[in-house]
Amino acid sequence: MPPVRRRRRSDRDPGRPQRPGLQLQKGHPVTASHPSPPTTRTGVNAVPRTPTDTTRIQKRVLRTLFATQVLGGLAVGIGIAVGALLVEDMTGSSTYAGLAQSLFVGGSALVVVPAVRITERFGRRGGLAFGYACAVAGTLVIIAAIHLDNAPVAVLGYFLLGSASFAGLQSRYAAADLAPEARRGSHLAIVVWATTLGSVVGPSVAGLAERAWAAWFGGPEYVGSMAAIGILCVLTAAVIGVFLRPDPLLTARQISGETDAPRRSIADGFRTAKANPAVRTGVVAAALGHFVMVGVMAMTALHIKHGMADPDQALTVVGVILGLHIGGMYALAPVVGRLVDRRGSRPVLVGGTAILVAACAVAGSAPSDDHVRITIGLILLGLGWSAMTVGSAALVTGAVTPAQRPSTQGFSDLVMGLAAMGAGIASGPIVEYWGYGMLCVFCAVVALCVVPFLLGGFAGPKPAEESA
């Protein structure tokens, strides 16, 4: 009887990285089940020849997304700090100020529809670049509105500017396309965390940009902030176009053998969420978490301004507080991602819901001149949002195939953006007629609406120790 040849580890599990120095013999395929598909017409999205190549590509993807999140986060942070103040100065109404913020997140929702089609055809690179290009157009519209003193045009510009927020959120999905299952949450969270470096200082940079623009060019207030946002978005789109190669989504599809899968739309994402309990839970958790965060955050700047003796200093104080809030949103994302990998998405989402309720209680009970308590509440608000966003994104991504991801993830971001737009529209009238405290009570009740979904059964991604 001939001796039994013991298979090497690379033969048993071709999806696992090779040990250093271990070489494949000539004639052995990379995988035992699927030969390497041919490259695309451009040659830049070719299937990696070995598992080590996939690891190398993922490192490049993470580095690129890290850089773009710093730049894009800086732009979004400036936009968040300036939006409500700009529109209130133009209209004298808190209601219209809330409308501007709601359209900012609304733009991040409705741009999903064309962006999904672009992503289906050109991969993550095309969808992300499209989002930042729309944001540049938004800054030009807002600058024109400022010079014309036309509030409706400024609100329309904020709608387009929200595309930068969409692109930043979609980047977390790009980080998960080639991530190992046991580290999907951590890789996703790295990109979310990178936004900290730009977003925390973004609100404070708004004042610096205003002073620099006024010294060099003069002109109306807020033009400097909008110009800074436009420049940052141009740089971000350029980095994506040049360095996000090969495209992570297209590469993941080639590895999974889904290159010939039919192109899907947002409607397909809806059908997937309807049929898949894990996806449905992730979509609801992301939407309600974003609703609460935007609803409270959008009106905090005005709440602080109304309690200050010198309203001219409002932009500086708001910049510091919102910067810390954004730090809460992103700074601990790696910890959240690690918890998702080790414990699963459900416990993280439960914890995020509890933190959001606590944030509403702390911020809503604070007088408008108690900046310390408001800051604590806003930091908790950001931390709760981080848990809901990372946990839901990992849940949705792990529950579908690469071919289903753009439509399903796009549907999730569409619902999330529409929920936040509703929060922004509702927050202005609530604050104007019932006060900031009642707004926080309302948002706390909304946060608790996710509990029935979390109590239901769904087959989400397993924790790392179970799937290893």
Q: Which residue has the higher pLDDT, 105 or 21?
A: 105
The pLDDT of residue 315 is 66
Q: Which residue has the higher pLDDT, 135 or 33?
A: 135
pLDDT-based confidence at residue 97 (cuts at 50, 70, 90): low
> CA of 360: how far to CAs of 81, 326, 356, 426, 453, in Å?
20, 16, 6, 16, 21
Q: In this model, does residue 319 exceed pLDDT 90?
A: no
Q: Which residue has the higher pLDDT, 98 or 236?
A: 236
Q: What's the CA gap between 270 and 14, in Å, rounded?
A: 34
Span of 382-386, 425-429, 435-439 with lowest mean pLDDT? 425-429
* Mean pLDDT, range 292-305, rounded to an integer: 84
Q: In this model, does residue 180 exceed pLDDT 60?
A: yes
Q: Report residue 19 as tokens.
A: 């040990």
In the block, residue with structure tokens 């927050």: 427
| Residue 224 contacts residue 212 (beta carbons within 8 Å) | yes
The pLDDT of residue 101 is 65
Give the closest residue to 32 by CA, choosing from 59, 50, 9, 12: 12
Q: In this model, does residue 455 exceed pLDDT 70?
A: yes
**Cα atoms in the 13 Å half-sphere on the side-chain side of 373:** 14
Mean pLDDT, rounded, of the chain = 81
What are the pLDDT digits (tens) for 182-227? 899 899 889 988 877 776 677 778 878 888 888 888 888 889 999 9
* Mean pLDDT, range 290-313, rounded to an integer: 78
* Mean pLDDT, range 291-316, rounded to an integer: 77
In the block, residue with structure tokens 């490192």: 59
| Residue 467 contacts residue 181 (beta carbons within 8 Å) | yes
Q: What's the CA gap between 112 and 108, in Å, rounded?
A: 7
* Mean pLDDT, range 169-182, rounded to an integer: 89
The pLDDT of residue 14 is 39
* Mean pLDDT, range 450-464, rounded to an integer: 68
| Residue 326 contacts residue 202 (beta carbons within 8 Å) | yes
Is 0.85 surpassed by the pTM of this model?
no
What are the pLDDT digits (tens) for 364-410? 998 877 889 999 999 999 999 999 999 999 999 989 999 899 999 99
The pLDDT of residue 99 is 67
Give every CB contact of residue 427 below 8 A, 6+ residues apart in sequence: 98, 101, 102, 294, 295, 296, 298, 299, 439
pLDDT-above-70 percentage for the chain: 81
Q: What's the CA gap between 89 and 148, in Å, rounded?
A: 14
Please give the single-letter amino acid code of residue 131: G
